[in-house]
Chains A and B, each alone.
Chain A
Amino acid sequence: MTRKRLILTVLHRLAVLAYVAFALFPLFWLLKVSVTPTSLLYTEGVRLWPSQASLEHYKFVLTHSSFPTFFLNSTIVSASTAVIVTIVSSLAGYAMSRFVFRGKYWIVGLLLLTQMFPLVMLIAPMFKMLSPLGLTNSLTGLVIVYVAFNVPFATFLMQSFFDGIPKDLEDAAMIDGATRFTAFRQIILPLTLKATTFPVGLLSFVSKFSVDFGQMMAAGVLALIPACLFFLLIQRYLVQGLTAGAVKG
């Protein structure tokens, strides 16, 4: 019995390990190529690790290309988008979760509708709207567009988090002497924030960092770092966050 369990456990671990190796192999390849000197890139054939590693690509990317600018812009846009989306969608999600109001049904419908258009279809009209405002080719314009794209889904996500928080908590806070907004800020938000900011902010992060910054593998590796760090950091909350609405806790 215990022997069988042991074998099963070992097999299970091996399978997981094999899967991880398989999934991470492209990343490993990315890393390997990025540290292979150009002179060895085509001469050594297929090897797991070059005979000589160097950081020359990294140096080049960081000093002689526009990568740092792109990287910075990307970070600014993502961070501002994440902050704005979190604020707007938490307020909207709270209203959707707690209040009954006229037209709620239609607003939900509209929010859903916005999710149905492929991005490509919207580029032309968006350009038409943003250019008279002088917002094309600007980070502000980009933030506005990203916020507009991310708010609807984030609102749904937030609503489901708030649905999972008992109404009694705000009621208690309001009886204790808080206004509804104070109750929201001091009781409800702190409870959701940990679990939600991350997934909601993540929504706006991931897509942007998967943008390919040219064929440069080194840039590829660098560009992956924030997303990886972010995932590592939030991993705990991500699982918890995505299930938070599902079970009463």
Chain B
Amino acid sequence: MASITIEAITKTFGAVPVLHDIDLSIGDGEFVVLVGPSGCGKSTLLRMIAGLEDITAGEIRIDDRRINEVAPKDRDIAMVFQSYALYPHMTVADNMSYSLKLRKTAREKIAEAVGAAAGKLGLDPLLQRRPKALSGGQRQRVAMGRAIVRHPKAFLFDEPLSNLDARLREQMRAEIKRLHKSIGATSVYVTHDQIEAMTLADRIVAMHGGIIQQVGNPLDLYDRPANLFVAGFIGSPAMNFVEGHCRAGVIETTDGSKVAIPDGIQLAEGQAITIGVRPEHVRIVATPEIGTYTARVDLVEPTGFGTIVHVHLLGQDLKIYTLERGIAVVGQPMHIALDSARLHLFDRETTNRIG
């Protein structure tokens, strides 16, 4: 087990810059999730920790030992690939024991370690099979088994669940979390699925365009997104954004409606603002009151547990997530309240959070 320190890491492929000045320190036993849209450089950063990509500039340390020049095999790290990368010509048992064999571990020790890992993951009946004869979920388990069998200093995961169907993904997600609780090893997990990030992470690192946008625990990112990117990325259904300007002590939206400025926030007259409000924080009220809005229902999407209601409001297709069934009827008007404490304000120029 180990801590990982990433300091001023930059990566360019030829002339193309991919990562810009990344700083991150991962504590011993911590589960950190790198999340961001496709192409933002998550895998590249992970592969640099693994030693599979050169480091253009900066330094990576494991337990205060600089590893920039250390070969992958000497970093004592395990990795689970999106493609699983199981060795096709070896049985499950051989796949799992390969790393131990390379380390010249005694045969009884290998059998013991493979047995223990197989037990943890329910792989016992599959040990003599080849990867070709396994289902996707079973291959995923073997890939996990191959990683945990040798008790490495850290685990790296590159979208390990993205090839599974939704149900299996949920199941494995919980299993990974349980596994981390029991093994407690330092883990870096890459995903573009924000639910996976929220549910698994001790800390989330949100990336975009090769730059870290925000680092924090999952609820921090949900409650206080640092900028428009994080606000839009974390949460499902995604946050609503309403554009407006500060005029005479209120925010005037593009359609001329007015939104009160939350307490304790100072805005400059004329400042361009984007208001963010999560669909689950838009309230539907029975009767119009002061400060409520009225809008016609455009679309109703029942999800089973809740319902997503689309209305046209504040110059926007505004989504509302409600747990009340049958409250919205397409074409009917509806009264809506925005709690000022639940609003997120962003400067539209810098895209950063205000307050």
Which chain B residues lie closer than 8 Å to A190 at the CB level?
A: 89
Residue in B closest to A168 when the chains form the complex, CB atoms = B85
Q: Are B72 and A174 in contact (CB under 8 A)?
A: yes
Given the known inter-chain contacts A169-B87, A190-B89, A191-B89, please indicate yes or no for A176 contacting B81, CB distance below 8 A.
no
Q: Quick one: which of A168, A169, A175 contacts B78, CB cutoff 8 A?
A: A175
Interface string of A4-21 (1 = CB under 8 A from B): 000000000000000000
Residues 35 to 58 of chain B near chain A (Cβ within 8 Å) = 47, 50-52
Q: Are A175 and B87 in contact (CB under 8 A)?
A: no
Interface string of B67-106 (1 = CB under 8 A from A): 0000111010111010101011100000000110011000
Interface segment among A57-65, A66-74, A177-185: the answer is A177-185
Residue in A closest to B88 when the chains form the complex, CB atoms = A191
| Nearest chain A CB to B125 CB, angstrom units | 24
Which chain B residues lie closer than 8 Å to A173 at the CB level?
A: 87, 98
Q: Are B98 and A176 in contact (CB under 8 A)?
A: yes
What is the interface of chain A mostly: helix, strand, loop, or mixed?
Answer: helix
Given the known inter-chain contacts A177-B73, A178-B73, A179-B73, please indicate yes or no for A171 contacting B99, CB distance below 8 A.
no
Q: Quick one: which of A166, A169, A177, A179 contacts B99, CB cutoff 8 A?
A: A177
- Report if B146 contacts A (CB, 8 A): yes
Q: Quick one: which of B81, B87, B99 contacts A187, CB cutoff 8 A?
A: B87
Which chain B residues lie closer than 8 Å to A168 at the CB level?
A: 81, 83, 85
Which chain B residues lie closer than 8 Å to A182 at the CB level?
A: 102
Which chain A residues lie closer than 8 Å to B103 at the CB level?
A: 177
Q: Are A169 and B85 in contact (CB under 8 A)?
A: yes
| Nearest chain B CB to A197 CB, angstrom units | 15
Residues 112 to 155 of chain A near chain B (Cβ within 8 Å) = none
10 nearest interchain CB pairs? Answer: A168-B85, A176-B99, A177-B102, A172-B85, A174-B72, A177-B73, A168-B81, A175-B79, A168-B83, A177-B99
B residues neighboring A (CB under 8 Å):
47, 50-52, 71-73, 75, 77-79, 81, 83, 85, 87-89, 98-99, 102-103, 146
A residues neighboring B (CB under 8 Å):
166, 168-169, 171-179, 182, 187, 190-191
12 A-B pairs with C-beta separation under 8 A: A171-B47, A171-B50, A171-B72, A172-B146, A173-B87, A175-B51, A175-B72, A175-B77, A176-B73, A176-B102, A177-B103, A191-B89
